[in-house]
Structure 1
Amino acid sequence: MNTDEILLRRAHAADAHAAADVWLRSYAAALPTVRCAHDESDVRDWFARVLVPQYETWVAVTGNRTVGVLVINNSELKQLYLDPDWRGQGLGNRLMALAKQQSPDGLSLWTFQVNGPARRFYQRHGFVEVERTDGQCNDEREPDVRYVWQPPPKPPAG
């Protein structure tokens, strides 16, 4: 699989269903021990009514297939999910580069403590753990961790 053949573009209303399907497949594969707090129809509705129209939502598309989704809200990386077949191919790196390009002053995000692969991915991309919770404030009631990325300081002009 060649990530050079993947187009990263802003999501349109017509992309909501396919983006939700990527989220559902990825969640099931990456988080088998975490209860999904919402059923498939609720997730699709959330993408169609909230994420795509109200947030900065991007999709990764190859041919006519959506294989990745990125959602940013101001400086918060809300969602970064890949089709399980595309993990480890460099697509996550491309989506992270896009997120940093769109939020050059810094990003924060939450992930579940149990999601070791995601935590290692964020740490490789310069995110630093700043907070842990017992999960009582998320829908899944799963302990989570907050990460923050700050860009390197700009060299002084002159």
Structure 2
Amino acid sequence: MVADSFDYRHGKPADAASCARIIREWSADTPWMTKVDDLEPMTAYWRERFGRDCVWVAEKDAHIVGFCVREEDNIGALYVARDARRLGVGKKLLDLAKENREWITVWAYELNTRARKFYRREGLVEVSRETEHFEDGVSLVDIEHRWIRPFSR
């Protein structure tokens, strides 16, 4: 299965619950990340964002397997379900987010080595770092990555 075997469309607020479940799955698989138990607040947050920002979802058999949210030139989220990773879904979603943009920015935690490797492979470069402090006392380094459309003649 490859990226072309999935359907891609603009996301809508009704997709928020499925996308929140993908984030919960990712947080459960990520030892250093705060776990997501209560889906209701996260679903409400994404529902509002999906009504405001540019959103793309990837589907297989009417089941959402990935999504990307872009606000202006910033990627606010790019997640792919466990079973759809390494099949080109993330690349296709990122490519959709790059369309009609001269540049985009995406943040990824330093410990998220898979995401950072993916962004580097897709032409994004590190431009800054910040330390983010969470309520539970955890601090994580967040890295800003930037992609700039290549100049063409």
* TM-aligned CA distance change 1:88 to 1:66, over 3 Å: same
8 Å Cα contact 1:57-1:71 kept in structure 2: yes
Residue in structure 2 matched with residue 69 of structure 1 by the alignment: 67
What is the alpha-carbon distance in structure 2 between the residues aligned to residue 55 and residue 111 of structure 1? 19
- Indicate which of 122, 140, 150 corresponds to 2:119: 122
Residue in structure 2 matched with residue 42 of structure 1 by the alignment: 41
8 Å Cα contact 2:105-2:146 kept in structure 1: yes
* TM-aligned CA distance change 1:41 to 1:92, over 3 Å: same
* Structure (1 or 2) with the greater strand fraction: 2
8 Å Cα contact 1:59-1:70 kept in structure 2: yes
Q: How many residues align?
A: 152
Unaligned 5+ segments in structure 2 are: none
Query: For residues 96-115 of structure 1, what are the structure 2 equivalents within 5 Å?
Result: 96-102=94-100, 104-115=101-112
Deviation (angstroms), 1:40: 2.2
Residue in structure 2 matched with residue 9 of structure 1 by the alignment: 9
* TM-aligned CA distance change 1:28 to 1:137, over 3 Å: closer
Deviation (angstroms), 1:141: 3.8
8 Å Cα contact 2:54-2:70 kept in structure 1: yes
8 Å Cα contact 2:8-2:57 kept in structure 1: yes
Q: Secondary structure at the match of 2:144?
A: strand
8 Å Cα contact 1:23-1:69 kept in structure 2: no
Deviation (angstroms), 1:37: 7.3
Describe the superposition over 1:51-98 as per-residue Cα deviations: whole angstroms up to 9, x where unpaired. 211111111111121000100000001100000111111111111111
RMSD of aligned C-alpha atoms? Answer: 2.1
8 Å Cα contact 1:34-1:142 kept in structure 2: no
The one-letter amino acid paired with 2:87 is: Q
